[in-house]
Amino acid sequence: MKQYDVVIVGAGMAGSTLALALHRLCHGKLSIAVIEAHPVNSEQHPGFDARAIALSYGTANILKTLGLWDKFSAITTAITDIQVSDRGHLGFTDIDAKSQGVDALGYVVELADVGRLYQAELNNTELNNTELNHAAIDYFCPAQVKRIERSVEQVVIELNDGNHLQAKLLVAADGALSQSCKLLDIELNEVDFEQHAVIVNVSTQLPPNGKAFERFTSSGPLAFLPMSDQRSSVVWCLPPQQAEQILALDEQAFTQALQQQFGWRLGAITKVGVRASYPLLLRYRESVISHRFAVVGNAAQTLHPIAGQGFNLGIRDVMSLAESITQAFEQGQDIGAYTVLSQYRQSREQDRNQTMSLTSSLVNIFSNDWLSLRVGRNLALMAMGNLSCIKQPIVKRTMGLVER
């Protein structure tokens, strides 16, 4: 039986970041195992598919702290301006990096590129800008958790390939439908927003030049995120039946429908890539800890993409857990003890609740065409454009500048 300090299930962005964070913060003195069901280059890998995501300014700062940002900066596109509008109405506000005193409000990165980066980091012999090596991280892939047994002082994980791992702490970072959480009966709550996200990368006549757009329509929000080569990543939220109809359109009809909803801010849409769709739900677990067990990232909560908060909230989970474990390790404590995990839970409670509440409220306010809400949201957007006391708290959370 192989002995470890920490076993992490899931090598997506949350799990990989946690492994590298613990390795760096504890100076390579923790033994770590990472278990991943799918190879990073597999189309089945749910964490590194064809989507692009927005990393907040705060997430970039966390990755800088961990010595990872130099690698990320080569595959990101900066967001220097965010324009928020309500289609067909006067509501409009603009958030720009210069007014916030930063070079970028956030960064767009393609998940496939992130997958290759983390694969290289986990398999590499040298951590960027340090003398640490990755010898303390064992990577089991492809492998799945078959059974989990916990005792007072340890947790034993049986894999489907016959391997048995023993650890002081097991961490679930294996996505919204976490298998490890299922095996331990960690309850999952779901709220169906009755929307599907249609995702596609498009090329436009005008380059986005760092501009992101959040456009609210009567059927749901529509976001354009800037990418390289005059491309944008599109997330179009629609009722399920309408999403199905949109997906069935030929390329020309799809382009016309998207152009009509988005407008001409980037000129004509000249090319559309492969389209995909997935249902939008709020999934969350009331408790992110159990005996010698912690939950991070999408396994802890999966949010609606309306404000681009999900991945960034997950990275804050990761950093808070890494700091709690590091503090316990430096003080000679049991890193899997319930007191250590309770510190992590308490540190995440306010941020989790506020971010989930904000995201769900935005969906309810901006995903329908009721007259009262339409008037209210347009007044709110206009107020944001003119009153910094209203605008700044929302901007700070959008940038990921929140207390952990």
Measuring CA to CA, which residue among 16, 3, 10 is closest to residue 322? 16
**pLDDT of res. 123:** 78
Considering only CA atoms, which of 299, 315, 310 is closest in space to residue 355? 310
Query: Is the pLDDT confidence value at 192 over 60?
Result: yes
Q: Which residues pair with 81 in a beta bridge?
A: 96, 211
Q: Are strands 32-35 and 211-217 parallel, antiparallel or unpaired?
A: unpaired
| Separation between Cα atoms, residue 231 and residue 203, nearest integer Å | 4
Q: Which residue has the tokens 């380059």?
A: 207
Q: In the predicted model, is pLDDT for residue 133 greater than 60?
A: no
- Can you spell out the DSSP letters for 24-91? HHTTT-S-EEEE-SS-TT-TT-TTSSS-EEEEEHHHHHHHHHTT-HHHHHTTEEEE-EEEEEETTSS-
Helix (H) or strand (E) holding 222: strand 220-226
Mean pLDDT of 259-273: 95
pLDDT in tens, 42-85: 565 666 666 899 999 999 999 999 999 999 989 999 999 999 88
CB 128 within 8 A of CB 120: no
Q: Which of 287, 288, 196 has the alpha carbon at shortest distance from 245?
A: 196
Angle at 309 between CA 74 and CA 325, to 5 degrees: 80
Using a 10 angstrom Cβ sphere, with 0-12 exposed, 13-18 middle and 19 or more buried, the burial of residue 102 is middle
Q: 10 Å Cβ neighbour count for 313?
A: 25
Burial class (CB in 10 A: 0-12, 13-18, 19+), 253: exposed
Contact 113, 73 (CB under 8 A): no
**pLDDT tens, residue by residue, 352-366:** 999 999 888 878 766
Average pLDDT of the chain is: 89
- What radius of gyration do the chain's Cα atoms show? 21
Residue 221's Cα: distance from chain center in Å?
Answer: 18
**pLDDT of the residue at 397:** 83
Element at 295 (helix H, strand E): strand 293-295
Range scoring the smallest mean pLDDT among 149-153, 155-159, 190-194, 303-307 = 303-307
Find out whether the peptide bond into 142 is cis, omega within 30 degrees of 0.
Answer: yes
pLDDT, tens only, 200-220: 999 999 999 999 999 888 788
pLDDT at 302: 97
- According to CATH, the superfamily of the domain at 2-77+111-190+283-365 is FAD/NAD(P)-binding domain (3.50.50.60)
State the pLDDT at residue 93. Answer: 82
Q: What is the pLDDT of residue 185?
A: 97
Give the torsion through C-alpha atoms of 213, 217, 221, 223, to 10 deg: -20
**What tens digit of pLDDT does each residue of 362-385 get?**
787 665 554 444 555 445 545 455
Tallying the residues shown for the chain, one arrives at 404
Instruction: Spell out the domain ranges in the chain.
Output: 2-77+111-190+283-365
| DSSP state for residue 293 in the 8-state scheme | E
Rounded CA-CA distance 213/84 in Å is: 6
pLDDT of residue 203: 96
pLDDT in tens, 87-111: 655 556 888 999 999 999 999 999 9
Angle at 200 between CA 175 and CA 105, to 5 degrees: 75
Both structure tokens of 396: 């700070």
The pLDDT assigned to 241 comes to 96
* Mean pLDDT in residue range 327-346: 98
pLDDT(303) > 80? yes
Q: CA–CA separation, 111 vs 72, rounded Å?
A: 11
Strand partners, 8: 34, 171
Among 135-139, 155-159, 170-174, 399-403, the minimum mean pLDDT is found in 135-139
Neighbours of 67 (CB within 10 A): 16
The tokens for 287 are: 């408790």
Predicted pLDDT at 347: 97
DSSP structure class, residue 98: G
Q: Which has the higher per-residue pLDDT, 378 or 254?
A: 254
Check pLDDT > 90 for residue 13: yes
Q: 129 pLDDT band (50/70/90 cuts)?
A: very low
Helix (H, G, I), strand (E, B) or coil at 155: strand
What count of other Cβ atoms lies within 10 Å of the Cβ of residue 303?
25
